[in-house]
Structure formats: structure tokens, C-alpha cells
Amino acid sequence: MAERKNPASKVTTANSNTRLTTGPSPRRGVSRADAGMPRPANSNTRVGAGLAVRAPRRDPEPGGAMLRGEATSEAALAGLRGRMAALLAQQGIQDDEVLRVMAEVPRHRFIDEALASRAYENAALPIGAGQTISQPWIVARMLAVAREGGALHRVLEVGTGCGYQAALLARLAGQVVSVERIRSLHEQAVDRLRTLGVRNAKLVLGDGNAGWPAGGPYDAILVAAAGLHIPPALLGQLAVGGRLLAPEGGSQQRLVLIERSSRERFRRTELEFVRFVPLQTGVQL
């Protein structure tokens, strides 16, 4: 993907118009060398096959078959979202608040209309610019781990994409800041969140590696792209007691949980294998 050097970042607030239970407790101390680990599913490319949680199954899909045979009325789509949330619960997502918002936020509004028939499948789907909307399971998994059953106040998302996860976070947190480096995706997400009436999310066009210090410190940071290492700027913006979730690695990636216990101390836990798009620098206009 073509890169341009960082111009000044652009901020758009949701007000002026503005980017998927406690789930099972993450296993501690899992090493990279664990043998016999399941292969990652295909995702945004955010996709996971769980360690502590059973990996999402391909069949049955909660939405695709019904949408191909039924009119896609709002009532029918709401029913498909409910079925998707129920399937996520069967697959190990136990946080009731996460399941609630997954059943409420219309995922079909964040993808091309031609793909609406697949909106509630447990699948990553293209959103343009070489990016995808992540699988519902991995979005729900990251939200549940970030919450750990408690309320979220300030949240930073790195990688707005189509805006779906930001819309979910806006229902779980007091304030959300989401940074996207690709202008076209940023502008589409602004329009979608405006249409949905989201007012507690600030969307930023900028380099996610730098985070957004003005909105921090954050009690949760979710990163939607994989770097070889977690950017130090993001660690610095994590509040004491906060949790950061990010994929890490190159051809082999793991979802990593970082918990900040004091100003200088961080605890690292490796979770399931995942496959995300690479974390890029700069802003693409």
C-alpha cells in the first residue's frame, strides 16, 4: 500500500459528526513455543482460533443462508444479529454487555450493500483499500478481554477501518478515540457513525503508532493491526490498571494482552494465534 509521510493529523468528533460476559479469563504465561496450537482463522484481518476459548466454527453461519432466502428488512436483520450473538455465546463469549452490543449494532451498515447477505456470518469481509472488517468472534473476544467484566471510560482504538468496532466501543465506554491512517476509510467511518447518531467517539486521521496523547490516559487500548512490537507510544498512553490488546508478530502472530500495574511495570500475557493486516506508519491520503 502506498505510503506518504505524515501530514498534520485531522480530528473529527462524533458530535460534529463522526470506527468489532466476562469472556473466558485469558490464560497466563503462554509461551510462543507452545506446540500443537490451532492455525489462525482468516480475518482482517483480525481472526482468532482460541486457546482458552473454542475457535469459531464455519458452520452453521448465523446470517448468510437466511439473507439469501429472505427479505432483508430491519426486523429480519435484527433477528440475524440476535442469532449471531447467540452463536458467539455458544463459542465462548460470556460477557453479557458485549453480546448485547453485538446484537444491537447493525454490522451490515459498515460494509458494501452488495455484501449485505454475508453481514452476520462469522467472516472477515472486504471494506476497500485492501482492508477488511474483522470476524465478529475476534471483535467480541477483544472487547470482552478489554472489559474484563467492568466498565470502560476512555478507550483508544488503533485502526478505525469501517468504523464497526468504534460503534461497538461507543456503547461500552464513556469516550472513544479511534485513529485511522487511510483517509478514504476515515471519511466513510465518519459518515457511518454520524448516521447512527454516535456522539461519544472522536475519529482521528493520523498515524496509529503515535496513538492520541491528548485523549489519554486510556483504560483500554485496542490495536487492529499487527506490528513486530507494540509501539512504545501506546504503552505510554495506557493508564495504570489499564489493558492493551494488540496482535504482535510477522508471519506468525499472537494476540497479546498488556496490563499496566504501575508507572513502570507492565504484565504481558499471550493469547490465541491471530492474523491481522500489518501495522503501517504514516498517513495515506
Q: Which residues are catalytic?
A: 134
Nearest-10 crossing angle of helices 96-104, 74-90? 150
Letter string b/e over residues 79-117, b meaning 16 or more CB atoms within 10 A of that residue's CB: bbbbbbbebbbebbbbbebbbebbbebbbbbbbeeeebb
- What grid cell was written down for 281? 506508519
Q: What residues does 259 pair with on adjacent strands?
A: 243, 267
Q: Which amino acid is at 285?
A: L
Q: Are strands 152-158 and 48-49 parallel, antiparallel or unpaired?
A: unpaired
